[in-house]
Amino acid sequence: MKEVVFSGIQPSGSLTIGNYLGALKNFKPLQEEYQCIYCLVDLHALTVEQDPKFLRKNTLQLLALYLAAGLDPYKSIVFIQSHVPEHSELQWLLNTITPLGQLQRMTQYKSKSKLQEENIQAGLLNYPVLMASDILLYQTKYVPVGEDQRQHIELTRDLAMRFNSRYSDTFVMPEIMTPKVGAKVMSLQDPTSKMSKSDSDPNSYILILDDEKTILRKVKRAVTDSLNNFSYNEDQIGLRNLIDIYCAFEEINHSEIVSRYESLGYGKFKEDLAEIIIEGLKPIKNRYEEYIADRSELENIYRMGADKARKIAYKTLRKAYKKVGLIPR
């Protein structure tokens, strides 16, 4: 039996190169060695207000992007979270063993709730419990995600441990899997904060589906510094972030980049970086256009995925229900 890899992305708008380098790019190579399960977490997206029309559209677009990034629905299980009701059911059990204080201390909850202080919903607070349910339902060993998800994986481990020690071994203990570079891509306008698709300034992020001109413009406008010293260090975080993006796309070491551009300067570096991003994304964009045009194939794929996912999820849920004393149907 292969070990299980599980990950998910929210269909809450177009993906940035942060989502790509931190998560999506790393999904494909895992398919040979592991039983991979890749979810479109539409229930998570509901924790911020969604226009139903856009949510439907974004979900299909994200599925097309998964496929364009090389996910093979015959090797991996690719499905939509709301199609497998066991996610919400296990979440309820996990809610009953989750300390409220631990949820209130989650960094992502704190920063997101600050944006809507007058109107914080319980769903935003409980978001990480649903994520724990996603992971634990499939007896997941590895979770490939960006660095910003670390705290959520820690909570998942705490919950698994608590459940296992109270009711005997039920869940596999999952581990985070982050890429060496690209685990935390920073904003192009404010390199002290994470690149995010919900940022109000579109110049702060590059989308996978941005056109070539837009990518070039955004890279050229990216904040660096006026030191005119091409090096990789903690005092030049804007430049360091751009070097990291270059390294992640090209899979080379930052010292190679520094020696290549020391004498060429920031301007030439930015031009080349834009070219590397454009070339890196081109094959995905082309395949994306093919997949998004074939609605019935997308439907076949997500239905097949949900059928396979439910079989696994149902088994785990039944086991957990039994252990806590619920009477089997």
Binding site for ligand TYM (CB under 6 A): 6-10, 18-19, 21-23, 41, 44, 131, 134-135, 143, 145-146, 148-149, 152, 183-185, 194-195
Nearer residue to ligand TYM within complex by CB, 135 or 247: 135
Identified catalytic residue from 197, 285, 308, 323: 197
Strand, helix or coil for residue 4: strand
Euclidean distance between CA atoms 161 and 180, whole angstroms: 28
184 is a catalytic site residue? no
Strand, helix or coil for residue 260: helix
DSSP string, 283-315: HHHHHHHHHHT-HHHHHHHHHHHHHHHHHHHHH
Nearer residue to ligand TYM within complex by CB, 90 or 145: 145
Position closest to ligand TYM via CB:
22
User: Whole-number minimum distance, CB 136 to ligand TYM, in Å?
Assistant: 10
Nearer residue to ligand TYM within complex by CB, 27 or 291: 27
User: Whole-number minimum distance, CB 93 to ligand TYM, in Å?
Assistant: 17
Contact assessment for residue 135 and residue 174, using Cβ atoms and an 8 Å cutoff: yes
Residue 254 φ then ψ, to 5°: -65, -25
User: Whole-number minimum distance, CB 95 to ligand TYM, in Å?
Assistant: 15
Nearer residue to ligand TYM within complex by CB, 131 or 207: 131
Euclidean distance between CA atoms 257 and 156, whole angstroms: 38
User: Whole-number minimum distance, CB 241 to ligand TYM, in Å?
Assistant: 10
User: Whole-number minimum distance, CB 308 to ligand TYM, in Å?
Assistant: 17
CA-nearest of 105, 96, 162, 107 to 129 is: 96
Contact assessment for residue 228 and residue 262, using Cβ atoms and an 8 Å cutoff: no
Interacting residues of 315 by C-beta distance below 8 A, sequence separation 6+: none
Identified catalytic residue from 25, 141, 184, 194: 194
Contact assessment for residue 143 and residue 127, using Cβ atoms and an 8 Å cutoff: no
Euclidean distance between CA atoms 98 and 314, whole angstroms: 22
Identified catalytic residue from 28, 112, 315, 323: 112
User: Whole-number minimum distance, CB 329 to ligand TYM, in Å?
Assistant: 27
197 is a catalytic site residue? yes
* C-beta neighbour count of 311 within 10 angstroms: 11
112 is a catalytic site residue? yes
- Cβ burial 33-45 (10 Å sphere, 16+ → b, else e): ebbbbbbbbbbbb
User: E strands along 99-225, which residues?
Assistant: 142-144, 175-177
Nearer residue to ligand TYM within complex by CB, 155 or 298: 155
Nearer residue to ligand TYM within complex by CB, 6 or 288: 6
Residues known to be catalytic:
112, 194, 197
